[in-house]
């Protein structure tokens, strides 16, 4: 059954409004995912303070709104995601709401540590065997994350294409894992909770020696090994 939804988030960001504006309207692939320029579907376009992008077909619509204001040398953002979910409303809403907090945290990490640098992004899906109640636990084990590992702490993990590296565990709960290295953000999404396989998003910044196709292939193999499924 279809019905409307509305998800809101607000909080400070470590960048001035002009930098936040570019990140959310132009450079979404640097911290979120590739998308069409927001200006193409904007019904409000007031840089660098407010953008509303909307798609609509009959009773169905999908709308994203960003409000940005300067505050304390940085910015304060208000984000509203609204629209219509047509199937499995409770699961879709729960997934979108939980993802929002993680996405906004990743935006802050990008702005604080990497904004302005060249970027590239690859998304890799774990095998179907990851869509179980165990979820991200095999990933935690492979990365060396323990029950006592606190967000904000560091760990040494063996990652595809780069080997052993010191990383900051910048985000960690039952649904998501966020790692930050000196030149990358690695985001693990426990979408098993929402009926889908686990997903990795790798965001790399600056000059890179390894082809993006190789990064995708090696992470695909790593996830297959972790979850015991075919790559």
The reported pTM is 0.94
Taking Cα atoms as reference points, which of 109, 123, 134 lies closest to residue 184?
109
pLDDT tens digits, one per residue of 128-147: 999 988 889 999 999 999 87
pLDDT tens digits, one per residue of 158-201: 999 999 999 999 999 999 999 999 999 999 999 988 889 999 99
CA distance 167 to 181: 5
pLDDT tens digits, one per residue of 58-67: 999 999 999 9
CA distance 217 to 132: 23
Token reading at 138: 């095999």
């Amino acid at each position: 059954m279809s019905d409307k939804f509305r998800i809101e988030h607000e909080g400070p960001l470590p960048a001035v409004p002009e930098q936040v504006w570019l990140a959310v309207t132009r450079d979404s692939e640097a911290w979120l995912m590739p998308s069409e320029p927001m200006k193409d579907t904007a019904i409000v376009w007031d840089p660098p303070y407010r953008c509303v992008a909307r798609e609509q077909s009959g009773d169905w619509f999908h709308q994203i709104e960003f409000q940005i204001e300067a505050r304390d040398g940085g910015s304060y953002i208000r984000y509203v995601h609204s629209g219509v979910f047509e199937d499995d409303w409770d699961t879709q809403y729960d997934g979108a709401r939980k993802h929002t907090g993680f996405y906004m945290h990743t935006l802050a990490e990008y702005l604080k540590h990497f904004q302005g640098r060249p970027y590239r992004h690859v998304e890799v899906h774990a095998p179907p065997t990851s869509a179980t109640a165990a979820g991200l636990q095999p990933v935690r084990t492979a990365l060396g994350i323990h029950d006592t590992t606190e967000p904000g702490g560091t760990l040494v993990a063996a990652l595809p294409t780069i080997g052993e590296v010191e990383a900051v565990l910048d985000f960690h709960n039952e649904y998501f894992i966020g790692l930050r290295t000196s030149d990358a953000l690695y985001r693990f999404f426990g979408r098993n909770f929402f009926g889908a396989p686990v997903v990795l998003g790798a965001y790399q910044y600056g000059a890179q020696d390894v082809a993006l196709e190789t990064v995708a292939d090696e992470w695909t193999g790593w996830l297959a090994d972790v979850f015991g499924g075919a790559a």
